[in-house]
Amino acid sequence: MEAHFMNFLQMKQFSILAKHQNMTEAAEELYISQPVLSKLLKKFEKYLNCELFTRKGRNIELNLNGRIFLESIDIILNEYQKINEHFFISKNVDIPIKISGFNKNELDLLIVNFSRQYPNISIEKNPNTPMGALNLLLNKKSDVIFTDNFSLNKFNLETKNIDFINLFRNYLYVSVLPNNVIAQENEISLNELLKYEFIGAIKNTWTSEFIENVCDNEKVNINYVHKYKMEMLDKIFFSTPYLVFCDSINIAYFTNYREIRKHILIKNAFQDIYLCYRKGDNRINLLVENIKNTFHEIFNYS
């Protein structure tokens, strides 16, 4: 099997884990769950074909291999930082990078590591829908955005000095309590859900626009008994007997969703998520590269 060296984000994650030598504390600093962090540690050890820590309950202690590896990692991280600071941070350092798309929780998670690594680069966050974020980018009111295939299909970006990357396929699910009549299903179509009552989010959120686009494509009208602001919907989500739509990203962010409710995949209901960004600013290139490395570590649920 071909070997692949760890990327910068993985080296940083190992360094933080080694600093704390405690799974709970390291997971909190990295803004990931402990199970995800445990998988990362196993991946590191599998890659190097040796154990790096001695396990002591929730605590871990660097062994000889771990100490040797950490010394090498620290050298690489320090040199990487020097190179970036010298060559890639442009003279526009005082001008904030404007990023738009997703909901606030997801945006915060995606840029927290970048902000720690480059505290002198200011970022303005603007949670938005896929279409709203794309409009901001096209009108030069945003520099980096998240959008989707439904929105991108309406525009040609080739002549607008904009690059884009296909990040992720985001699937739509219906979430139900375990005692619901459809809880034993693994997949279901939108048409089969027309007889059930839903609650949802008010318009102009990332997820609500995704749901609207999917429903428009399938020409179905969902029976909503009530719609809430996202903050309120998140609070009542766990206990409501009504059906609720959620997506891969929601489930990956709220990991305890999986313990309380059953998520049933909706057939042929997905969006392709794209990262779009303005060319010509090396700070933006650094942010984009960081987001690419961070995205799949956080939002990996399918």
Q: What is the mean pLDDT of residues 227-237?
A: 87
At 172 the pLDDT is: 96
> How far apart are alpha carbons 257 and 50 in whole angstroms?
35
May I ask the CATH architecture of the domain 97-165+274-298?
Answer: 3-Layer(aba) Sandwich (3.40)
Q: Are 130 and 147 in contact (CB under 8 A)?
A: yes
Longest dimension (CA), the chain: 61
> How far apart are alpha carbons 205 and 195 in whole angstroms?
25
- 97-111, 117-131, 150-164: segment of lowest average pLDDT: 150-164
pLDDT reading at 90 higher than 70: no
* Domain spans in the chain, listed from the N-terminal domain onward: 8-88, 97-165+274-298, 169-272
At 86 the pLDDT is: 61
Q: Distance between alpha carbon 142 and the CA centroid of its chain, in Å?
A: 19
Domains 8-88 and 97-165+274-298 share a fold: no
State pTM to two decimals. Answer: 0.71
pLDDT reading at 91 higher than 60: no
What is 8-88's CATH number, 1.20.1090.10, 1.20.1560.10, 1.10.10.10, 1.20.1730.10? Answer: 1.10.10.10
Q: What is the mean pLDDT of residues 18-25?
A: 87
May I ask the CATH architecture of the domain 169-272?
Answer: 3-Layer(aba) Sandwich (3.40)
At 229 the pLDDT is: 87
Compute the chain's Rg from CA coordinates.
21
Q: Are 138 and 278 in contact (CB under 8 A)?
A: no
Q: Are 107 and 101 in contact (CB under 8 A)?
A: yes
pLDDT in tens, 59-84: 888 999 989 999 998 888 888 777 76
> How far apart are alpha carbons 285 and 78 in whole angstroms?
19
Mean pLDDT, the chain, integer: 86
pLDDT in tens, 130-160: 999 999 999 999 999 999 999 988 776 766 7
Among residues 47, 81, 48, which one has the least CA distance to residue 64? 48
Q: Distance between alpha carbon 215 and the CA centroid of its chain, in Å?
A: 24
> How far apart are alpha carbons 274 and 292 in whole angstroms?
11
Sorted by sequence, the CB contacts under 8 Å of residue 287 that are 6+ apart come out as 97, 99, 111, 114, 121, 123, 144, 277
Token pair in block for residue 91: 């003279």
Sorted by sequence, the CB contacts under 8 Å of residue 215 that are 6+ apart come out as 190, 221, 222
Q: Are 257 and 269 in contact (CB under 8 A)?
A: no
